[in-house]
Amino acid sequence: MSTDTLPAQAAATPAAASPGGRNTLRSRRRRDALRTLAFLSPWLIGCGVFFAYPLVSTVYFSFMKYDGLNPPEWRGLANWAYVFTDFPQFWPALRNTLWLCVVMVACRVLFGLGTGLLITKIKTGTGIFRTLFYLPYLAPPVAATLAFVFLLNPGTGPVNSLLEAAGLPAPSWFNDASWSKPALTVLAVWGVGDLMVIFMAALLDVPKEQYEAAALDGASPWQRFRHITLPTIAPIVLFAVVTGIIGAMQYYTQPIVASKVASGVMGGSGVTFVPGYPDDSTLTLPQLVQSLGFSQFNYGASCVVALVLFALSMAFTALLMRRRGGLIGPGDRP
Amino acid sequence: MTTLTATATTPAGRRARRKALLHWIAVHALGVAAALFFVLPFVFVFLTSLMSDQQALTRDLTPNSWHWENYVRVFETEGFLTWWRNSLLYAGLGTVLVVVSSVPVAYALAKFRFRGRHLSLLLVIAMMMLPPQVVIIPMYLFWAKQMDLSGTLWPLIVPMAFGDAFAVFLLRQFLLTIPDEYVEAARIDGCGELRTLLKVVVPMAKPGIAAVALFQFFFCWNDYFGPQIYASENPGAWTLSYGLESFKGAHHTDWNLTMAATVLVMAPVILVFFFAQKAFVEGVTLTGVKG
C-alpha cells in the first residue's frame, strides 16, 4: 500500500514516542478523523440526500398506491404482482434488454477491438485516423439519434438510397419492429470510440518481445493474436463486456428519442407518448420507470421497475468489483 | 523493419518488402473504409442541412444550391436561443460545482488512510453505476413538492455541489499517480491539509481535473433524462438536448432545418474536443484501467 501515511508520519516525528506520546497520538488520531470527515463531507451529505434517502423511499413507495395527489395508501405486494404479471410492457422491455446485452454489446466490443487493433497497425496518418474513429463517440446522443433516424429513414434516407442503388434490400429500420434494435446497434457501433481508445491502450501494453519471439518460432498472425494478444487484454475485454451490459440495461436516451422521432410524435410538454415504437421493440426498463411514473402517475409500479433496474445494475457492478479478478477494485495501483 | 532495407537487394528481401507493402495497403484500405463509416454520417447530415426545403424531401445526397440561411432560420426559431443559454448555464455551473466539490473527496480517498476507506470507495463505484431512474420518483417528489422547483434546472444543478461519483472515481485514479512524497514533503514543511491540496496536489492534478471538467460538461450538455423530468413542463427551461427533439416535432417535414439544428448541437462538443483532445483521451483511458 503506497498511501500509508501513518508510519511515515510516525517516523518523521520521533517525539511521539516520549512520555506524552500516547496523548498526542490520540489527539492526532482525532484530528485526522475530523480532517477526513471535513474533506468527505460534501459527498457524505450528497450520498445521504441524493442516494440513501431516495433509495429507501423508492422501496417504501413500491408498496404504496400513490399518484402524487392523494395520500399514499398501503398496497402490500400488489404493485409487484402487477408489474410481473399484468403490466404488458415489462417482459418485452426485459427481452429487449437481453437482446441488447447479447447483440449490441458483442458488436460494440468486437468493433471496438477491431478498430483498436487497426489503429495500432496503421503507420501513416495515425493521429488523423484515431481522431476520425473517435469523433462519433462525442456526438450528443439526442443529436446522433436524430441524425441516424434521418440517415436510416425508409423514404428518402441516404443509407437506403445507397442500399437500393447497390441492389440490396432496404429495411424500414426505426419503423420496423424487427429492424429497430439493429438500427440502434448501428448507432451504438458508430459511437465505439470509447472502447477503441481503451483497447488501443491495452494493445500497446502487450510486450513487443513476445511477438518477436513468436514470429521467430513461425507463429501465424492469428496464432499470435490468439495466444499473446488475447490473454493480455482479456481483463479489458471483460471490463468492456460488463460495462456494456450495465449500459445496455440503462439504455434510455437513444431508444426513446428514436421511437419518438420515428413515430412522428411531437416531443415536449403535454403530449402523451407510449414508448417502445414500433410495437414495444425499443422498450427498456428506464423508459418504463419514466412512463409509469410521469405519464401514468402510477408511482408504486414505477418504483417496482426502478428496483428491478437497481438490482440488475448492482449485480453486474458487483461483478466488476469482485476482490479477486475484480476489474475496478479499490486497489492502490491506478 | 530495419532488416528489410539491409536485405532488400536479395530476392528473399524483395519478397519480404513486397509483402510489407501489401500489408501496408491492406491495413490503410481498411482504415479508410472504417473512416468512411465514422465520417459519412456527419457529412450527410451537414449536406442535408444546406438543402432547400423541397430538396431535403428528395433522395439527393448533395445540395443543388447551398442554403446557409437555414442556420439563421434555426436561430430564429422560437426558443432556440433560450435552450442554448440554458444548456450553457446547466453545463457551465454544473462543471464548476462538480470539480470544486469532488476534488477534496477524491483527495481524501486517494491519500488519507482511515477506517471505511474501502467501503467509501465501493459506495462511490456503486453510485457511479446507478442509473438516475432508480431514485427518480422520490427525487422528483422532493424537488417538485417540497422545494417547488419543478419547471427549472435547479434540481439538476444543486446536487452537483455535493460531488459526483464518476468525477470522484476518475480524480481518485488520477491522484493515485501522484507520489505520496510530494504530499508528505508539504506536510513536513508545515502545510495544512487544505493548503497542501490547493498548492501542491491541484497543480499536479491539472490534467485529471481537465478530463473531469470535460466529461462533466459533456454529460450536462448531452443530458436528456434530467431536463425531461424536471423542465419538460416549462419550455423556458429546456436545454438544447431536450429541445432538439421537439424541434423535429415542430418541423416534421423540414429535415434540412432539423439537421442544421443537429449540427448546431454537435458543434460545440466537437470544438471543445479539438481544443482539449489530449486531456479527453487520457480521461477515457483512466476510466478503463484496472484499479
Same domain flag for B282 and B217: yes
B21 part of contact set with chain A, CB < 8 Å: no
Same domain flag for B100 and B189: yes
Give the range among A324-333, B83-92, B200-209 with minimum mean pLDDT: A324-333
Examine residue A75 and state whether it is found in any structural domain, yes or no. Answer: no
Nearest to A303 among B109, B137, B180 (CB): B137
Chain B residues touching A328 at Cβ < 8 A: 125, 169, 290-291
Domain, as residue range, for B61: 2-70
- Number of structural domains chain A divides into: 2
- Alpha-carbon gap: B59 to the closest alpha carbon of chain A (Å): 5
B45 part of contact set with chain A, CB < 8 Å: yes
Q: A81-108 pLDDT, tens per residue?
A: 999 999 999 999 999 999 999 999 999 9
Assigned C-alpha cell, B249: 416535432
Q: What is the mean pLDDT of residues B211-232?
A: 92
Statement: residue A292 has pLDDT above 90 = yes
Same domain flag for B48 and B133: no
B57 part of contact set with chain A, CB < 8 Å: yes
Same domain flag for B61 and B89: no
Chain B residues touching A306 at Cβ < 8 A: 133-137
pLDDT number for residue B167:
93
Same domain flag for B64 and B100: no
B182 part of contact set with chain A, CB < 8 Å: no
pLDDT number for residue B252:
65
Q: What is the mean pLDDT of residues B204-223?
A: 90
Q: 3-class SS at B14?
A: helix
Tell me phi and psi for residue A280, to 5 degrees.
60, 10
Among A148, A153, A100, which residue's Cα sits nearest to residue A285? Answer: A100
Are the Cβ atoms of A46 and B59 closer than 8 angstroms? no
| Secondary structure of A3-69 as H, E, C letters | CCCHHHHHHHCHHHHCCCHHHHHHHHHHHHHHHHHHHHHHHHHHHHHHHHHHHHHHHHHCCEECCCC
In this prediction, what percent of chain A has a pLDDT beyond 90? Answer: 54
Same domain flag for B119 and B189: yes
Statement: residue B28 has pLDDT above 90 = yes
Nearest to B273 among A68, A138, A144 (CB): A138
Same domain flag for A312 and A181: yes
A-B contacts at Cβ under 8 angstroms: 320
Nearest to B193 among A35, A302, A329 (CB): A35
pLDDT number for residue B281:
67
Assigned C-alpha cell, B130: 446507478
Same domain flag for B33 and B57: yes
Q: What is the mean pLDDT of chain A?
A: 85
ipTM of the complex: 0.88
Statement: residue A13 has pLDDT above 70 = no
Same domain flag for A187 and A314: yes
Handedness of CA B257, B258, B259, B262 (dihedral sign): positive
Any idea what the CATH number is for the domain that residue B185 is in?
1.10.3720.10
Q: A131-166 pLDDT, tens per residue?
A: 999 999 999 999 999 999 999 988 888 999 999 999
- Number of structural domains chain B divides into: 2
Same domain flag for A181 and A43: no
Q: A118-134 pLDDT, tens per residue?
A: 999 998 888 899 999 99
Q: B143-199 pLDDT, tens per residue?
A: 999 999 989 999 999 999 999 999 999 899 889 888 888 888 888 888 888 888 888
Q: 3-class SS at A123?
A: coil
Report d(CA B255, CA A176) in Å as an integer.
20
Are the Cβ atoms of A190 and B31 closer than 8 angstroms? no
pLDDT number for residue A302:
96
Domain, as residue range, for A49: 6-61
Give the range among A311-315, B30-34, B254-258 with minimum mean pLDDT: B254-258
pLDDT number for residue A21:
57
Q: B254-288 pLDDT, tens per residue?
A: 889 999 999 999 998 888 888 877 776 666 666 55
A73, β-bridge pairs: A65
Same domain flag for B20 and B147: no
Of B35, B70, B105, the residue that ends a domain is B70
Which residues neighbour A284 within 8 Å (Cβ) at sequence distance 6 or greater?
A: A93, A96, A97, A100, A249, A250, A251, A252, A255
